């Protein structure tokens, strides 16, 4: 995994003006700690920071087609293409010659052979830029599910681009400006495809190719979810899902570095860990796979169940590891102290990793620390992320009111529980017009949903709910996981985002997805032989969040600092509104209460204040 950036200009000679690109490239050092490269030509400069995972010696970038001949395409690339060995064999048969064993070179030759349509042939998580000197065109390509980020910023004579906004903002022609729409994205907890929060900047929409040339730019969608009839019966469907999972995890275990897994003790991560251990055994690998779990010191003693967390994770994670066997899984529990997530250096790293104020507070800080701990032992980790979106694991899939609601289903639980009240109390909800903004984005999203002819009623509505989760909520979570893991120099792979699995399960009827009356019915049935019964029957639990009063008191002190004269956050929330938050009892925010609870809002305001200062953001309302 890596970080990329670059600059294209059609009116300047960039061999004489490429000074900003080294600085842009260095902002990606966290994503690529192993190597640095810059390729320069009159119209384009490409930068790359590398995390070496495949072909440690030969896969350096930016990579030209050949080092002997100029004027041919060059690529700067991040991610993994899991079917690159099959593609390489096909391309070799077509006469292509390879000098490395990297997937990067395969992608470049695929472009040479098939042109822009080569993207349809790729299976993986990737984002890359190809500069073609023959046509003076730049291609920006992003994977189907949006696992790997990629942003661009058009200029009067070209474009700036990068894996993350920070790379673009390091160029003097890019401005860090946020307007009301950008603020609405932040505080409504939306991840609208293509929206980058910073004015003038765009995110490459998943499954698209963005082409730049002297005439401007165009966007082509190379894949999308389609509604298709599902003709398999239940037993065949369960078998097909297991077949896909076996193939996907086996592909994603391949690397020239050590691979581990993230193990929470929930169904998704337990499935990935159990499959990984089984596949390694099949191939005669003697060393057990490292499976990592996170816990807070004293969490078990302080734990209080609520709507998000029914029980602590660690006992279940231990049971999974024991069930798989010590010879096959080396279970590592990463125990954090609450003081760890309060350290200013940690908070600074998380802010810089995401380029935006935190959305889920201490959960983001602890995820970063977990990834740092993993990086000490592995370079790649497989995660259960995205299973809930495709297998209907969230409570809102099964809540009749959320299903019948007229907003994004993950917004509904907090609306019903008064979760929006905090933003309304401090005036920010109305000032940003969040009701209207969310409604507009919701209507836009519904307009994209693929429809199956003749499908009506509850089945049609559940297709909508599934699509909203896959195209929006999953987008948010994948971005969070990528940014925080890459900030630690760790590559996280997400088997449940394989487009073959997503397509198949998306088109499975709702009655089949919930055939046993529970969440994730199909996944549970497909993997019942792998896991202990307690984990198979466990209800969905969210990523752990601290319930320690030490953290809450420290958060309150940081909110107190927002009352200082000139605090940037006062541009959007007046001092008297901040004081309202401080007047609330500690008990009201000891436990996280959804997206807009007191604690979540306090965290977001603290981080917003730091973000405006750190990034020099100009707020224009």
Residue 362 tokens, joined = 């201490």
From the candidates 2, 138, 526, 541, give the one annotated as an active-site residue: 2
> CA-to-CA distance for 621 and 619, rounded, in angstroms?
6
> CA-to-CA distance for 104 and 263, rounded, in angstroms?
30
Residue 63 tokens, joined = 């990579």
Q: Are 78 and 108 in contact (CB under 8 A)?
A: no
What residue spans of 355-420 are helical by DSSP H? 362-375, 387-391, 400-404, 412-416
Q: Are 328 and 289 in contact (CB under 8 A)?
A: yes
Q: Are strands 2-9 and 158-162 parallel, antiparallel or unpaired?
A: antiparallel
Determine the 3-state secondary structure of 78 from DSSP.
strand
Pick from 64, 37, 63: which is nearest to 49 by CA? 37
Q: Are 76 and 6 in contact (CB under 8 A)?
A: yes
Pick from 288, 284, 242: which is nearest to 263 by CA? 288
- Measured in degrees and rounded to the nearest 5, phi and psi for residue 195 equal -85, 135
> CA-to-CA distance for 567 and 613, rounded, in angstroms?
9
Q: Are 116 and 209 in contact (CB under 8 A)?
A: yes
- DSSP result, 479-499: HHHHHHHHTTT-EEE-GGG-H
Catalytic residue flag (residue 371): no
């602590």: which residue's tokens? 312
Other Cβ atoms less than 10 A from the Cβ of 355: the count is 23
Q: 385 vs 49, 273, 491, CA distance in Å? A: 25, 13, 13
Total number of residues shown for the chain: 621
Cα angle, residue 322 at apex, residues 318 and 327 outer, rounded to 5°:
125
Q: 562 vs 36, 445, 555, CA distance in Å? A: 39, 36, 11
Q: Are 560 and 579 in contact (CB under 8 A)?
A: no
> CA-to-CA distance for 162 and 127, rounded, in angstroms?
10
Cα angle, residue 187 at apex, residues 183 and 192 outer, rounded to 5°:
75
Point out the residues that are catalytic: 2
């Amino acid at each position: 995994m890596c970080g990329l950036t670059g600059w294209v200009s059609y009116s300047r000679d960039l061999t004489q003006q490429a000074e900003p690109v080294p600085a842009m490239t260095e902002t990606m050092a966290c994503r690529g700690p192993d190597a640095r490269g810059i390729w320069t030509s009159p119209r384009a400069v490409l930068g790359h920071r590398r995390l070496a995972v495949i072909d440690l010696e030969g896969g350096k970038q930016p990579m030209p087609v050949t080092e002997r001949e100029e004027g041919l395409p060059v690529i700067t690339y991040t991610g993994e293409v899991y079917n690159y060995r099959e593609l390489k064999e096909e391309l070799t048969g077509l006469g292509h010659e390879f000098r490395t064993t990297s997937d990067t070179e395969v992608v470049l030759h695929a472009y040479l052979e098939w042109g822009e349509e080569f993207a349809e042939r790729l299976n993986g998580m990737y984002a890359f830029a190809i500069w073609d000197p023959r046509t003076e065109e730049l291609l920006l390509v992003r994977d189907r599910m949006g696992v790997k980020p990629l942003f661009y910023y058009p200029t009067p004579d070209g474009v700036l681009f990068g894996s993350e906004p920070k790379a673009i903002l390091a160029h003097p022609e890019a401005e860090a400006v946020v307007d009301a729409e950008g603020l609405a994205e932040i505080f409504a907890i939306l991840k609208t495809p293509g929206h980058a929060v910073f004015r003038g900047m765009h995110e490459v929409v998943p499954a698209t190719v963005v082409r730049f040339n002297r005439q401007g730019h165009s966007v082509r969608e190379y894949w999308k979810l389609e509604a298709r009839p599902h003709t398999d019966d239940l037993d065949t469907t369960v078998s097909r899902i297991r077949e896909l999972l076996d193939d996907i995890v086996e592909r994603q275990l391949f690397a020239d570095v050590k691979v581990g897994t993230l193990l929470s003790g929930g169904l998704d991560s337990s499935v990935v860990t159990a499959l990984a251990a089984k596949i390694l055994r099949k191939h005669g690998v003697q060393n057990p796979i490292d499976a990592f779990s996170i816990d807070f010191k004293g969490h078990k003693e302080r734990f209080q169940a609520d709507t998000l967390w029914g029980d602590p994770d660690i006992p279940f994670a231990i049971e999974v590891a024991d069930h798989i066997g010590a010879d096959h899984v080396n279970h590592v529990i990463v125990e954090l102290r609450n003081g760890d997530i309060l350290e200013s250096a940690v908070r600074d790293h998380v802010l810089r990793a995401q380029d935006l104020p935190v959305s889920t507070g201490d959960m983001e800080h602890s995820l970063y620390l977990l990834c740092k701990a993993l990086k000490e032992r592995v370079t790649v980790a497989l995660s259960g992320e995205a299973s809930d979106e495709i297998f209907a694991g969230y409570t809102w899939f099964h809540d009749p009111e959320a299903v019948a609601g007229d907003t994004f289903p993950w917004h509904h639980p907090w609306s019903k529980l008064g979760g929006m009240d905090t933003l309304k109390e401090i005036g920010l909800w109305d000032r940003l017009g969040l009701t209207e903004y969310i409604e507009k984005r919701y209507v836009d999203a519904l307009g994209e949903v693929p429809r199956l002819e003749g499908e009506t009623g509850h089945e049609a509505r559940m297709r909508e709910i599934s699509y909203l989760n896959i195209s929006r909520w999953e987008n948010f979570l994948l971005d969070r996981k990528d940014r925080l893991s890459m900030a630690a120099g760790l590559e996280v792979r997400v088997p449940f985002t394989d487009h073959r699995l997503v397509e198949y399960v998306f088109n499975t009827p709702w009655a089949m997805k919930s055939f046993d009356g529970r969440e994730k019915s199909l996944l549970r049935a497909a993997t019942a032989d792998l896991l202990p019964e307690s984990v198979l029957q466990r209800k969905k639990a969210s990523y752990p969040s601290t319930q320690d009063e030490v953290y809450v008191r420290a958060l309150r002190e940081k909110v107190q600092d927002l009352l200082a004269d000139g605090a940037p956050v006062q541009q959007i929330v007046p001092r008297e509104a901040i004081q309202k938050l401080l007047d609330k009892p500690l008990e009201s925010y000891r436990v996280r209460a959804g997206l807009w609870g007191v604690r979540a809002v306090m965290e977001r305001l603290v981080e917003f204040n730091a973000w405006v200062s750190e990034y020099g953001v100009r707020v224009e309302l």
